[in-house]
Amino acid sequence: MKNLYQFRIYFSALFVILAFIIAGCQKDSSPTLVTMTPTNITSTTATLGGNITDNGGATVSDCGVEYRKSYLSNPVDVKLTPVISYGTFAINITGLEPNTLYYVQAYATNSNGTSYGDYKTFTTTGTGSGTVTDSDGNQYTTVTIGTQTWMTENLKTTKYNNGDRIIHDTIDSQWGSSADGAYCFYLYEPQMKDYSGCLYNWFAVNDVRGIAPAGWHVPTDADWNTLATYLGGASIAGGKLKEAGDTHWYDPNTGATNETGFTALPGGFLYASLVTFNNAGKYAYWWSATNASSDNGGTWAVDYQSTVLSGYSSTKYNGYSVRCIKNNK
C-alpha cells in the first residue's frame, strides 16, 4: 500500500510538471506574418502589404509596412488603418523616387511584441518614359531602366531604315536555307503583330541597312548583361521584366512583377529546322546583335516557370522577336 501511495504522489507531481510545460508551450507570442510581393509599381507609387497568418493569441494593435532604399537607411513606417488581426492587407505608397530599388517588410504588433515578415524588393520605373517611331510608322512607348532606355514593345517594322522592304517570308522551306533577312508573324497570322511583333531571322537583325529606329539599336549581349546586373542578376531579372498575371502568360508565370515596365510578352518563336512555331504563352525570345559564331547569333529569353533572364546562342535561321534599346549619347 505504501508503494502504491508513493506512486500516486509521484504521478500527481509529474502531471503538474507536464501541465506547466504544456502551458509554457502554449504561451502567447507575437504575430506571424509574411510580406506580400509589391504590385502596381510606377515611377513614384507602389502597393505594399502583408498577410497576418496568426495573431499570436493576442489582439493585433498595430500593423503596416516599413520600406527603405538600403539596409543602412532608416525605414519609412506606414501604418494600416484600421488595424486587422488576420489576413492580407495592402497599402498604397506614394512619393517614391523614380528608378530606385527599395526594400520592404510588413510588420504586426500585439501585447507580446512585434514581428516582421521577410524582405521583398522592388524597383520603381524610370521617368524617361516616352515614345519612338520606326521606319514603318509604328510608334512604341519606352522606359528607362537604370542607365538604359528600352522599348516596352517588340519591334514591328517591315522595312529597313533606308525604306527597303524586309522579305516577308511565308514559304516554309525558305526559313531553314535562306541567308537573306526576313520576317514573319507567329503562325503567319498578321494579327499577331500587335501582340508579339514580327519574328525576324538574325540576318535581318545584322543587315547594314538597320531595322532599329534612328538613334536606337538591337541590343548586344553586353546590353542584356547590363540590364540583368542592374536588376540584381540574371537569376531574378526575368521576373522583373515579365508582364504579371496570366492574361498572356501560362500559369504559374513564376515571379512576374513587371516592376521595370518592360512588359515582356510570351511571343514564342519560329524553329527554322522544322519550320514550326513554338512556345507562345510560355517563352519570350529576343535576338542579340552579338555574332556568337558563323552559325549562331546571341539570344535572350524569359519563361513562365522561372525568374531567370537566360542568355545563349541559337541558329541564325530561327525567327525571334527584337526589343530595341536607345543609343547612349
The arithmetic mean of pLDDT across residues 150-177, rounded, is 86
pLDDT of amino acid 173:
61
Beta bridge partners of 150: 143, 325
Task: State the DSSP code for 174.
Answer: G
DSSP strand pairing (283-291 vs 199-200): unpaired
pLDDT of amino acid 90:
96
- Nine-digit cell string for 19: 501541465
pLDDT of amino acid 1:
47
pLDDT of amino acid 23:
44
Task: Express each pLDDT in 288-312 by its tens digit.
Answer: 999 999 999 999 999 999 999 999 9
Task: Express each pLDDT in 6-54 by its tens digit.
Answer: 434 444 544 444 444 444 444 579 999 999 999 888 777 889 999 999 9
The architecture in CATH of the region 32-123 reads Sandwich (2.60)
Asked which of 83-87, 92-96, 98-102, 172-176 is least confident by mean pLDDT, the reply is 172-176
Q: Where are the domains of the chain?
A: 32-123, 130-326
Rounded to two decimals, what is the model's pTM?
0.64
Task: State the DSSP code for 165.
Answer: B
Helix (H, G, I), strand (E, B) or coil at 77: strand
The arithmetic mean of pLDDT across residues 175-202, rounded, is 87
